[in-house]
Amino acid sequence: MQQALDEDLAHGDVTTNALFPRAISARATIVAHHRMTVAGLAVAREVFLTVDPSLHITKNIQDGITVSAETPVMTVQGDVRSLLMAERVAVNFLQRLSGIATLTAQFCAAVRGYPTKILDTRKTTPGLRALEKWAVHLGGGKNHRFSLGDGVLIKDNHLAVLRSTGVDVAGACRLARAGAPHGLRIEVEAKSLQEVKEALAGEADIILLDNMSPALVRKAVDLIKRRALVEVSGGMTLQTVEDMARVGADFISVGALTHSAPAANLSMDLSARRGRRGRTR
């Protein structure tokens, strides 16, 4: 947050300073312009208070609430100069995080009625992972690894190198089991039914079925027979995600939740409070 403010206010706000040499008391209203799951109000609040601790802030709803179009979600009162300096950074966070939460909520709604959980990935904006994964949580999704140290996930590039040394998927699982910290679940990627069989031989805890059709996922699920949890990934969309839930996926990981979520449409509207001028700052 501080880095974002430093980026926007590195040389001050020359426009606001030129137009408002004296403090003017104003009221700002942040409005959601379409149906969305709101995320980032807590961040926006901190942005405003970092710029000016004397601002009075009212959150009309809580983060994670779905609102209809033209809903006021936050009001802020105080020196217009502070409101203008904080506006873009605060709204940027709200638009980005609400977009993620809204898309996540849509994916979760698409698999409602199934035991399948929607997961995020590490395909996040550098430096914003914690906030973006928080937005996924607010939208009803579950968080996968926050970092490479959070769990064992043997992917295709690991396997490609291991195969050149004569180690198959089963062997990779055994190596991970022996070398990873105690208690971590072993997850391995499989691109074919043969690799699923090898993952089972290696006693993987989770088998990640990558870029498989629903029909092939069904065959893999039947082969696994609950001996491991099943995660599905690869090009998931709102149109295809239910098909994967229907054939038995325990988890569906969706990189698009964070790398492709469209920004939500929110804006801040200002109105001056007549007769209320502050002292020159």
Pair (131, 197) in one structural domain:
yes
Pair (205, 80) in one structural domain:
no
Containing domain of residue 85, as a range? 2-101+263-277
Quote the CA–CA distance of 264 and 98 in Å, as a whole number. Answer: 6
Quote the CA–CA distance of 105 and 124 in Å, as a whole number. Answer: 18
pLDDT attached to residue 278: 38
Pair (140, 267) in one structural domain:
no
Quote the CA–CA distance of 39 and 43 in Å, as a whole number. Answer: 9
CATH number for the domain spanning 27: value is 3.90.1170.20
Pair (88, 200) in one structural domain:
no
**Sorting pLDDT into bands at 50, 70 and 90, what band is 274?**
low
The pTM for the full model equals: 0.93
Pair (94, 143) in one structural domain:
no
CATH number for the domain spanning 160: value is 3.20.20.70
Domain total in the chain: 2
Pair (24, 46) in one structural domain:
yes
Quote the CA–CA distance of 205 and 199 in Å, as a whole number. Answer: 9
**Sorting pLDDT into bands at 50, 70 and 90, what band is 273?**
confident
Catalytic residues, by residue number, are 88, 123, 155, 189, 210
Q: Tens digits of per-residue pLDDT, 53-80?
A: 999 999 999 999 999 999 999 999 999 9
Pair (66, 155) in one structural domain:
no
Q: What phi and psi values does residue 111 have, to the nearest 5 degrees?
A: -110, 15
Pair (249, 125) in one structural domain:
yes
Asked if 98 and 135 touch (Cβ cutoff 8 Å), the reply is yes
